[in-house]
Structure 1
Amino acid sequence: MDKKIILVTGATSGIGREAARAFLVQGHTVVIHGRNRDKALNVRRELAAETGNGDVDVLVADLESLAAVRRLAEEFNGTYDQLDVLVNNAGNQYGGTWQATAEGHEKTMTVNLFAPVLLSLLLIDSLKKSRHGRIVTVSSASHAQGGRPYLDDIELKDHYSYTRAYGLSKLYVIWAMRSLRKHLTGQGIGSIDVNCTHPGMARTNLGESDQRPLLMKLVFAAAVPFMSSVEKGAEPTIHAATSPEVEGLSDRYFGPKGQERVSERHHTPANEQAVWAHCMKVVGPYLPSEPPTASA
């Protein structure tokens, strides 16, 4: 297996940490992202000790800020000559009421949708330098549980709920990654694969917050005994990122059962394009040039 440079967001716990550990065991160079520097540095030391591979670096950014996402990409591009695999793993759930980031966007959509889209676009040039680059974005089986999209209210100012925001953010990121792949194809870039994964019901600390609605706290507590391990949950992402079998494939959705089907109940080319257009409107100010376009 060729040695790769792999950037993993949200790599200080859960699926991201386990994926980073597996990549180090495979012998790759791994850049772990976290939002807390001390925690990220501790995880770097732990991973190096656990795997015997000290080829692990740290980048710090709060993905609730798109300006911080841009700085993260600039720091990576200033340090490394190329990127072989980007794993957009970081994600979050918030409380029962609509919350805005400092930049004025809904928090769930920012972390789960806008941040991975922006980071992917900012790292395209580095991925193009790889023999065959890969973008792997972690979605969720909950993409099928967000209900009807409100494409005139993508950030849910008038239609917010805890489950709707999370489910739709995970649906929209699948659509956005399809549009990103179309954009790359339209630019004549065929050397970057773009795929999504989901971990199933794995035991992670996703959304662990005092802001989680009481009902959801009870639901999660009841589900814990039936959840799979973090190691099992990370397998689809590890497979999509480094398996030779995946090279050259795009628009795939990998889960614990292998290649799985995305719920297409609400998908149309127009709906996908509406999400992509909104993403470009949001991330455009943080791009170095005019935002790209892609037809669905």
Structure 2
Amino acid sequence: MSLYRNSAWFLKGVTEFTRKAFLAASKRFVEKDLEVSLAGRSFMITGANSGIGKASAMAIAKRGGTIHMVCRNKDKAEEARADIVKETGNKEVYVHILDLSETKKVWEFAESFKRKYKTLNVLINNAGSIMSQRDVNAEGLEKSFATNVLGVYILTKSLIPLLEKSPDPRVITVSSGGMLVQKLRTGNLQSERGRYDGTMVYAQHKRQQVVMTEQLAKTHTNIHFSVMHPGWVDTPAVANAMPDFHQSMKESLRTPEQGADTVVWLAVSEAAATNPSGRFYQDRKMVSTHLPLAWTHSSSLEEQKLMSLLEDLAKTFQPH
């Protein structure tokens, strides 16, 4: 089965996830969808100092949006902020330092953000982590799970009250087509059992993000949730985590701007908000979250189990 999934996924990738595929898809894009003024609207973007996150911040800042860059590395974040301000002329770009793998700090950051700022229109969960070997944070949680899943869950849940008070609130999570080869598994959330394969662990986390988005959309109906696949993008993260793939596909990889296109479209366009909440997108279009005949569907019981496990874990680290 995994051989079929991997082959079907690679075939799909070669035809749909490359730069060439983006250029073909972009022929049907509606240009005026992105002709919007975002003055007075605020956007939080995690991992905004490079790759898709920075390209998204740049595109939104160009349209007058206020940007809250949430980054791990202060120097890289300040450098990226300077680039964005210089290129867009928009000074409403703020840097916040947070490592999403530090669970308690995610809570603390979100709580202090809510005290300081009265509005947040859009949250873009972009930061992600692929580990080459299993590692745990100071709280004993597997690091990539803490970053990709629990950190995203806590940040989103904690900011929901602020989003709900703001006009036209949206949450966009940057997932990956890699999740198409994974069925949701709640029995080994922190990859304690079996051989640790960082790429597959990451793909599992991306499947969890899709399920999380679908579930949150059901319970918070006045926020527009979406999750998307940027395609195969030439970013520092891909080059570091998957050097062989990066090297062999380099000529076919999308630019960060192409990867960010659907993020920006979901974050700012009126057209995106008219679609149902909780869906998965690729190149500005709703697409299936499963490959045909790949048996990756999960029961609603399993999906609810994921949410309750995340809720329990999140509460454990909530400051009182």
CA 1:239/1:257 → structure 2, altered by over 3 Å: closer, same or farther? closer
Corresponding residue of 1:262: 289
Q: 2:130 aligns with which of 76, 87, 93?
A: 93
Aligned length: 277
Query: Is 1:107 paired with 2:143?
Result: yes
Listed as ranges, the gaps of 5+ residues in structure 1 are 185-189, 290-296
Q: State the one-letter code of the partner of 2:283.
A: P
- With normalisation by structure 2, the TM-score equals 0.82
Partners of 1:103 and 1:182 lie apart in 2 by 31
| Equivalent pair of 2:180/2:290 in contact (CA under 8 Å) | yes
Q: Aligned partners of 1:149 and 1:245: how far apart in 2?
A: 30
Give the aligned residue type for 1:155: Q
Bigger drift between 71-80 and 14-23 goes to: 71-80
Among 164, 170, 173, the residue aligned to 1:137: 173
Aligned-CA RMSD value: 1.8
- Provide the identity percentage: 28
Superposed displacement of residue 237, structure 1? 0.5
1:230 aligns with 2:256: yes
For residues 313 and 187 of structure 2, what CA distance do their matches in structure 1 show?
A: 14
Q: Is residue 2:66 matched to residue 1:29? A: yes
Q: Deviations over 1:89-112 (max 9, x none)?
A: 0001001x3211111111221111
Alignment of 1:153-232 (within 5 A): 153-159=188-194, 160-184=196-220, 190-206=221-237, 208-209=239-240, 212=241, 216-232=242-258
Unaligned runs of 5+ in 2: 1-36
| Aligned residues of 2:231 and 2:282 also touching (Cα < 8 A) | yes
Opposite residue 86 of structure 2, the aligned amino acid is: A
Corresponding position: 1:116 with 2:152:
yes
Question: CA–CA distance in 1 between the matches of 2:253 and 2:298?
Answer: 29
CA offsets 1:30-63 (integer angstroms, 9 cap, x no match): 1111111122122111110100111111111011
Q: Secondary structure at the match of 1:123?
A: helix
* AA aligned opposite 2:134: W
Distance 2:319 2:169 in 1: 21
Give 3-state SS (helix, strand or coil) of 1:33's partner. strand
Consecutive aligned runs of 4 or more in structure 1 exceeding 4 Å deviation: none
More helix by share: 2
The Cα of 1:207 is off from its aligned counterpart by: 5.1
TM-score, with structure 1 as normaliser? 0.88
Give CA-to-partner distance per residue, 1:204-255, whole Å, 9 cap, x none.
112554xx5xxx4323321222111111000010011111112253112121
Q: For residue 286 of structure 1, report the CA deviation from its aligned partner.
A: 3.8
